[in-house]
Amino acid sequence: MEKRIDHLEAEVTFVTEGSGLSLSVDAEWLQVKQVFILDHVDVSTPDNRHLFDVDELVFRPGDRVALLGLNGSGKSSLIRTMLEAQRRDTGNQSNIRFNPNVRIGYFDQELTAFEANEGTYAWVRARVERSEETIKRALIHLGFPWIERDRSVRVLSGGERARLTLLTFQLNQPNLLIMDEPTNHIDLQGKEELEADLVQPGLSLLFTSHDRRFIETVATRFWWIHRGKLIEISDADQYFSSLDDSAGPQTLQRDTSPWVAAAESRPAGEDAALERLIEVERLLAEDHKRPARFQKPERQKVWAEELKQLRLKLGLD
């Protein structure tokens, strides 16, 4: 248990230079009828194992949709399927149809785009069409010294990689963000700044997250992978209330592809409790670091009680 906690904590890299995301919303884009449609989609793993079905869901401009589901239920597989469909651009013949004017900004939770042996400037330059001076100013603003512009992106921390990804969004100005676990590598301050950026009116966003507060703050719609179907629910409460029962027998067909194998080996309810425990510990620690006049004593009491209950649930006391 302690090793699993250490592993989860090691995945968090603190980011205090800001989210790096600043997007403008195109008024004309808000007038289009839809951004994409999922129409009788069969979502499967790369080796064609069926995960779940989608009857019909329509995503419209300004929607901020949280994609909910247990670990391994197929959230990342759906995103992968959508991105492949958009790249193929099969038009009206596809079960996944995008508006032809869509420009996607994709945040990959694994940050796999950083395996190339490129410097920070070269990495950004290959992904945006902006002048050297514009990129230089953006890098410096986000805490990347220009003198280190040739530093390989392969050695960057998770937080630094996340900031560079968000920087490309700022420079490219996509009109649809698809973000897979965007809060994995940011601290409380960075998360609050990202929330503020994402909730601006008109921004279109599809995202996954295990952070309940982030989900409830950012999302305006909720899609849940449940019992072999992707369905829409009115709020996130129904999903989160189901987590206590998720350690029992499951009717979901599970995604057993390699990139979720580690997650599949853990009971989903316990995994969610572990992640929440680490999140609450971080919230409490961050609040204690604030000047006394800015601390929230009542909130600290609530967090302390929640920690107590989580530790009891996980058998850590």
CATH of the domain at 223: 3.40.50.300
pLDDT band for position 181 (cuts 50, 70, 90): very high
Q: Are residues 112 and 240 located together in one domain of the fold?
A: yes
Distance from C-alpha of 54 to C-alpha of 70, rounded to nearest angstrom:
17
Q: Are residues 120 and 187 located together in one domain of the fold?
A: yes
Domain that holds residue 297: 267-317
- Would 6 be classed as within a structural domain? no
Residue with more model confidence, 136 or 110 = 136
Closest by Cα among 115, 6, 50 to 257: 50
pLDDT band for position 262 (cuts 50, 70, 90): very low
Q: What is the pTM of this model?
A: 0.70
Q: Are residues 283 and 310 located together in one domain of the fold?
A: yes
| Residues in CB range of 58: below 8 A, 6 or more apart | 34, 36, 37, 38
Q: Given a cut of 60, is residue 253 above it in pLDDT?
A: no
Q: Are residues 184 and 308 located together in one domain of the fold?
A: no
Q: How many domains does the chain have?
A: 2
Are 96 and 36 contacting, i.e. CB atoms less than 8 angstroms apart? Answer: yes
Please provide the average confidence, as pLDDT, over all residues in the chain. 81
Q: Given a cut of 80, is residue 23 above it in pLDDT?
A: no
Number of H helices, E strands in the chain: 11, 9
Q: Given a cut of 50, is residue 12 above it in pLDDT?
A: no
Q: Are residues 223 and 293 located together in one domain of the fold?
A: no
- Would 7 be classed as within a structural domain? no
Q: Are residues 243 and 277 located together in one domain of the fold?
A: no
- Would 1 be classed as within a structural domain? no
- Would 8 be classed as within a structural domain? no
Distance from C-alpha of 39 to C-alpha of 314, rounded to nearest angstrom:
41
Q: Are residues 288 and 226 located together in one domain of the fold?
A: no
